[in-house]
């Protein structure tokens, strides 16, 4: 047998490629957090009544929407690989901007509570409103840290941090059940975030960013302030629509369902979004590696597509077959009401993965207007179908809307994705650079922020 052959040799070769190393770390994060999430929801279903679960999870989704739609991860994973001396300044600017935006949006949400239905009525209390504000800002910073790890090509830390977070959630879920039967789910979710922000921040700023600066100082062309500002507008809109499709849609659904029906919906939705993370991982890794080495964009895109087509279909089949049995463990009506939705959301991950890969290519090419357009079409199309389809007796029709939209958009972007993996992209980016078979080559101008 060839030296280094067999499973161990294949694993070494896979992990020697930063594209796969980052992607597998993020996939491991999705798998481990998914398992912990199953345990979390199983305990929650046993310890808390469905109406409490539904109300708490609606609040969690609102916090996640406010914190996620205002974060700047798309900027971090795109430009950290091309910065060295000013990486710290870039990260701090994203942190400060994102946290301020999260606070403002949280205040806007609290000012419009009358729009959002009974699941949020307890936030009229001043102390609860203050906690909502603090947790939205904390969630913004927590998720931006994940973008920093990915941009620094140290995504291996993501599963480590998130597994610790998942275990802490489980412990607290049980510990606070007796003292806080109505709010224990929310508290167990966000108290670990508040505690962990400082040590994770020290790891990033004290160790990883200085190492990144030392290893990459003087390597290749650096982005300019002008390029970053041009990238920011379209990329932010695209990211906002993406996170709205994950976190705002369940908030809207919660406003139209009773608290117990919302619990069945939110359970299936949360598990479905864990699968969505698998569709996003290779796209994020592709953005980082494409930005780090634009000349290998086409080959990286081909490799990412092959791994997507190899890994995702078996996982989807397992979820589709196992959803009714798995949700039956939670008791109540979780299986009867939630399993059809979870099955459809699992199938919808397949076309979504193709869309996300294409968006990963577009990020490297700085084609942010097209990214924003694609994400807006996906979100608004689902939203347009959602209102006439919301039915507490048939939650699966919500999944049908998502599957239909993702399938149509995937069909529309497939020719562009095929051109990218063949290295024949000819369209012009929006930052003023030129595009060749390999990607984008900055045209210069503006101030270098290396």
In a domain, 143, yes or no: yes
DSSP three-state, residue 435? strand
Is 4 part of a structural domain of the chain? no
Is residue 11 situated within a structural domain? no
Asked if 238 and 359 count as a contact pair (C-beta separation under 8 A), the reply is yes
In a domain, 293, yes or no: yes
Please indicate, yes or no, if residue 46 is contained in any of the structural domains.
Answer: yes
Q: Which domain holds residue 360?
A: 18-432
Structural domain includes residue 443 = no
Q: Comparing C-alpha atoms, which of 77, 98, 90, 206 is closest to residue 448?
A: 90
Query: If residue 17 lies in a helix (H) or strand (E), which one and from where to where?
Result: none
Residue 200 lies in a domain: yes
Any idea how long the chain is?
A: 450
Q: How far, in Å, CA of 170 to CA of 155, rounded?
A: 23
Local confidence pLDDT in tens for the 450 residues of the chain: 444 555 555 556 555 555 555 556 656 656 666 667 667 877 777 788 777 777 887 888 889 889 988 888 878 877 887 787 788 988 999 999 999 999 999 999 999 988 887 778 888 888 889 999 999 999 999 989 988 988 887 767 777 887 888 889 888 888 888 777 777 888 888 899 999 999 999 999 999 999 888 877 655 556 667 777 776 766 677 777 877 888 788 888 877 777 777 778 877 887 888 788 777 777 776 766 666 666 777 877 887 788 888 888 998 999 899 888 877 777 667 777 788 899 999 999 999 999 988 988 888 787 878 888 898 999 999 988 887 777 767 788 888 999 999 999 999 999 998 988 887 654 444 444 433 333 333 333 444 444
In-domain check, residue 6? no
Q: Residue 246's CB: how many other CB atoms inside 10 A?
A: 20
Name the domain count of the chain: 1
- The pair of structure tokens assigned to 101 is 């935006």
Which residue's structure tokens are 């052959």? 5
């Amino acid at each position: 047998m060839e030296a280094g052959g067999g499973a161990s040799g294949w694993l070494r070769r896979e992990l020697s490629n930063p594209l796969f190393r980052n992607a597998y770390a993020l996939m491991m994060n999705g798998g481990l957090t998914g398992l912990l999430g199953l345990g979390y929801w199983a305990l929650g279903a046993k310890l808390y009544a469905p109406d409490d679960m539904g109300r708490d999870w609606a609040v969690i989704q609102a916090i996640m929407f406010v914190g996620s739609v205002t974060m700047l991860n798309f900027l971090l994973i795109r430009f950290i690989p091309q910065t060295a001396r000013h990486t710290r300044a870039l990260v701090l600017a994203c942190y400060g901007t994102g946290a301020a935006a999260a606070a403002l949006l949280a205040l806007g949400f609290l000012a419009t509570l009358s729009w959002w239905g009974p699941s949020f009525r307890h936030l009229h209390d001043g102390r609860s409103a203050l906690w909502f504000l603090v947790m939205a800002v904390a969630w913004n910073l927590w998720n931006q840290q994940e973008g920093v790890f990915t941009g620094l090509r140290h995504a291996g830390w993501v599963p480590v941090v998130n597994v610790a977070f998942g275990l802490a959630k489980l412990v607290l879920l049980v510990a606070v059940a007796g003292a806080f039967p109505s709010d224990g789910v929310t508290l167990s979710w966000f108290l670990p975030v508040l505690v962990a922000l400082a040590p994770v921040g020290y790891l990033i700023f004290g160790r990883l960013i200085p190492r990144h600066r030392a290893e990459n100082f003087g390597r290749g062309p650096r982005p300019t302030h002008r390029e970053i500002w041009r990238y920011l507008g379209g990329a932010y809109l695209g990211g906002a629509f993406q996170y709205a499709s994950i976190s705002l849609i369940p908030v809207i659904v919660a406003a139209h369902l009773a608290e117990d029906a919302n619990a069945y919906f939110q359970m299936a939705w949360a598990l479905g979004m864990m699968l969505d993370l698998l569709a996003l991982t290779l796209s994020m890794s592709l953005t980082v590696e494409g930005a780090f080495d634009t000349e290998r964009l086409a080959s990286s895109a081909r490799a990412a597509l092959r791994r997507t087509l190899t890994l995702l279909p078996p996982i989807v089949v397992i979820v589709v077959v196992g959803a009714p049995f798995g949700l039956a463990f939670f008791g109540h009506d979780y299986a009867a009401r939630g399993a059809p939705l979870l099955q459809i959301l699992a199938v919808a991950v397949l076309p979504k993965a193709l869309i996300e890969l294409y968006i990963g290519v577009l990020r490297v090419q700085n084609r942010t207007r097209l990214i924003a357009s694609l994400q807006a079409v996906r979100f608004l199309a689902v939203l347009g179908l959602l209102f006439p389809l919301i039915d507490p007796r048939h939650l699966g029709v919500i999944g049908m809307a998502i599957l239909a939209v993702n399938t149509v958009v995937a069909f529309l972007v497939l020719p562009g994705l095929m051109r990218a993996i063949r290295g024949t992209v000819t369209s012009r980016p929006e930052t003023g650079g030129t595009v060749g078979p390999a990607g984008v080559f900055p045209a210069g101008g503006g101030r270098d922020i290396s």
